Chains A and B, each alone.
Chain A
């Protein structure tokens, strides 16, 4: 038992369950709790509870939301013509930061991976087909990661939408902006060559 306190040890083990937190970080966090003002910790505890209580998933796109529909789905200024399919809610955050996309989203909360027991039923496709048909969507952009699983998921999406008059596209792969060819790995450069465009 570390620190000679069963309670603190328990706190460390709870922190360790969080993603990206190892033993050392968990210890640091636990000691931070110990040293902080009571009011700060009370606020932390309250916020944790509130988040669990009030934050859920958007009924349309499965993005995180405090209302039945998320801020993006309920934003009338955004276009229904394009829907972007992403793996995780944080991917939305990254895409929004680009400011280049004004359509809607669908968050799958994962990718197809039979090894981890994840099939189509485990992903949040919702009623995508119906949504596309009724919403007048013209293009679905699949923005899953360029991994084997991400590609398989993209194929699944295009299969799911077969027969609808909707264009299914995939994010391009290649040169990073501001990057230098000199420092690029061969695999990425190879993909960039394959996906070259007219000047």
Chain B
């Protein structure tokens, strides 16, 4: 799919106007603080219905003005047109429309504009908080299947309900095992579903990330491991995970999950929190057999993160039969020439790409690519 045009009104520091994009690579060139990232944020906002960097909509409204509005028009690979509009008036009136129809739920926006992004914050994917890695897998799931999105939302819901019950215990004695039992059953049922879906997604993502990493890197071997907390297992994404998945489908996961819940029962009541389940899963990476988080350099972590994100793009493309839009914020900064060329070859040539770079010399341009200069929020098309 591609985004043909974008209109922003009172969007951070960006000048109010409509911009037409190239279906190929769109390069935004500009110095620090000129508004490149703000513009990329608008593209991502259309995909997510919220900002990827700040959760607060009122921070996006240009300083001193009353609201913001953003609209994107585009089409899928099969030619089906779509439009997304988002408007916000502080303190909390937000409106989202798809093809002119108002949305009642944010989840209905998922997948309208599929977007894979890589920004400075994503370098943390390999060694930051586990939450980032869970979000990475879950985003892949949500973008590729409505059923998975529903499974994730339902799991989150059961966590909230069960958490509530555990927290209540400080007023009226501890939540008894009898009270917890139905929520345990729900937790296990929905939790197993989430683990199975994540495992399936990882079996698709892993090999792709490995190949992409090889193309990007200097031949170092990237291996993924899925740490399934509820089962107490760390599984290499490959035959090991496949075996686990087969056993999980026959009930082994459910059994392990229940055993662990029983074992942690007292701890859960004392700490008044959900301590077992896929909300505590993690991913681990090894580079040539060494733990990336512990031994990886900044550059290695970055390349691995890029490979993972681009694997996500491929995965979404394959499952939806439509190419996601790719947003790259200053991704070349820490990549050496060879890797930068690799990235250009693998990604930019195959997706509509929005690319922010500080200097024009940072990239080579092809036919049909568009170059915009960004200065104090004003965009000028140079090519």
Q: Contact residues of A with B, CB < 8 Å?
A: 112-115, 117, 119-120, 147-149, 151-153, 155-156, 159, 185-187, 190
A115 to B160, CA, bound (A): 7
In the complex, the answer to whether B186 meets A151 with C-beta atoms within 8 Å is yes
Q: Which residues from B are CB-within-8-Å of A147?
A: 157
A155 to B182, CA, bound (A): 6
In the complex, the answer to whether B186 meets A187 with C-beta atoms within 8 Å is no
Indicate which residue in A112, A114, A148, A155 contacts B168 across the interface (CB closer than 8 Å): A114
A114 to B162, CA, bound (A): 7
Q: Which residues from B are CB-within-8-Å of A115?
A: 160-161, 164
Q: Contact residues of B with A, CB < 8 Å?
A: 145-147, 149-150, 154, 157-158, 160-162, 164-165, 168, 179, 181-183, 185-186, 189-190
A148-B154, A185-B146, A187-B150 given; A155·B164 CB < 8 A: no
Q: Which residues from B are CB-within-8-Å of A119?
A: 165, 179
A74 to B168, CA, bound (A): 40
Task: With CB as the reference atom, state the residue of chain B lying closest to A120.
Answer: B179
A151-B186, A152-B186, A155-B182 given; A114·B161 CB < 8 A: yes
Q: Which residues from A are CB-within-8-Å of B162?
A: 114
User: Taking the nearest CB of chain A, how far is it from the CB of B140, in angstroms?
Assistant: 16
Task: With CB as the reference atom, state the residue of chain A lying closest to B162.
Answer: A114
A121 to B146, CA, bound (A): 35
Closest 4 A/B residue pairs (Cβ): A186-B146, A114-B165, A114-B164, A187-B150
Task: With CB as the reference atom, state the residue of chain B lying closest to A189.
Answer: B147
The main secondary structure of chain B at its interface with chain A is helix
A155-B185, A186-B147 known, 9 other contacts, Cβ within 8 Å: A112-B182, A120-B179, A148-B154, A148-B161, A152-B183, A155-B186, A159-B181, A187-B147, A187-B150
In the complex, the answer to whether A148 meets B157 with C-beta atoms within 8 Å is yes
In the complex, the answer to whether B182 meets A156 with C-beta atoms within 8 Å is yes
Task: With CB as the reference atom, state the residue of chain B lying closest to A191.
Answer: B147
User: Taking the nearest CB of chain A, how far is it from the CB of B120, in angstroms?
Assistant: 34
In the complex, the answer to whether A159 meets B182 with C-beta atoms within 8 Å is yes
A147 to B146, CA, bound (A): 16
In the complex, the answer to whether B145 meets A186 with C-beta atoms within 8 Å is yes
- Residue in A114, A115, A153 whose Cβ sees the most chain B Cβ within 10 Å: A114
Indicate which residue in B145, B149, B158 contacts A148 across the interface (CB closer than 8 Å): B158
In the complex, the answer to whether B146 meets A148 with C-beta atoms within 8 Å is no
A159 to B179, CA, bound (A): 11
The main secondary structure of chain A at its interface with chain B is helix
Indicate which residue in A112, A149, A159, A190 contacts B147 across the interface (CB closer than 8 Å): A190
Q: Which residues from A are CB-within-8-Å of B147?
A: 186-187, 190
User: Taking the nearest CB of chain B, how far is it from the CB of A177, in angstroms?
Assistant: 22
A57 to B261, CA, bound (A): 40
User: Taking the nearest CB of chain A, how far is it from the CB of B109, in angstroms?
Assistant: 14
Task: With CB as the reference atom, state the residue of chain B lying closest to A193.
Answer: B147
Q: Which residues from B are CB-within-8-Å of A187?
A: 146-147, 149-150
Q: Which residues from A are CB-within-8-Å of B160?
A: 115
A41 to B186, CA, bound (A): 49
In the complex, the answer to whether A152 meets B179 with C-beta atoms within 8 Å is no
User: Taking the nearest CB of chain A, how far is it from the CB of B273, in angstroms?
Assistant: 13
Task: With CB as the reference atom, state the residue of chain B lying closest to A146.
Answer: B154
A187 to B161, CA, bound (A): 22
A113-B161, A185-B146, A187-B147 given; A152·B182 CB < 8 A: yes
User: Taking the nearest CB of chain B, how far is it from the CB of A116, in angstroms?
Assistant: 9
Q: Which residues from B are CB-within-8-Å of A148?
A: 154, 157-158, 161, 186, 190
Q: Which residues from B are CB-within-8-Å of A186?
A: 145-147
User: Taking the nearest CB of chain B, how far is it from the CB of A192, in angstroms?
Assistant: 11
Q: Which residues from B are CB-within-8-Å of A185?
A: 146
A117 to B145, CA, bound (A): 33
A4 to B234, CA, bound (A): 69
Q: Which residues from A are CB-within-8-Å of B145?
A: 186
Task: With CB as the reference atom, state the residue of chain A lying closest to B184.
Answer: A155
Q: Which residues from A are CB-within-8-Å of B146?
A: 185-187
Q: Which residues from B are CB-within-8-Å of A190?
A: 147
Q: Which residues from B are CB-within-8-Å of A152?
A: 158, 161, 182-183, 185-186
Task: With CB as the reference atom, state the residue of chain A lying closest to B156.
Answer: A148
A159 to B186, CA, bound (A): 13
- Residue in B168, B181, B182 whose Cβ sees the most chain A Cβ within 10 Å: B182
Task: With CB as the reference atom, state the residue of chain B lying closest to A148.
Answer: B157
Q: Which residues from A are CB-within-8-Å of B154?
A: 148
Q: Which residues from A are CB-within-8-Å of B150?
A: 187
A-B contact pairs, 25 of them (CB 8 A): A113-B161, A114-B162, A114-B168, A115-B164, A117-B168, A119-B165, A119-B179, A120-B179, A147-B157, A148-B154, A148-B157, A148-B186, A148-B190, A149-B157, A151-B186, A151-B189, A152-B183, A152-B185, A152-B186, A153-B182, A155-B181, A155-B182, A159-B181, A159-B182, A187-B146
Q: Which residues from A are CB-within-8-Å of B158?
A: 148, 152
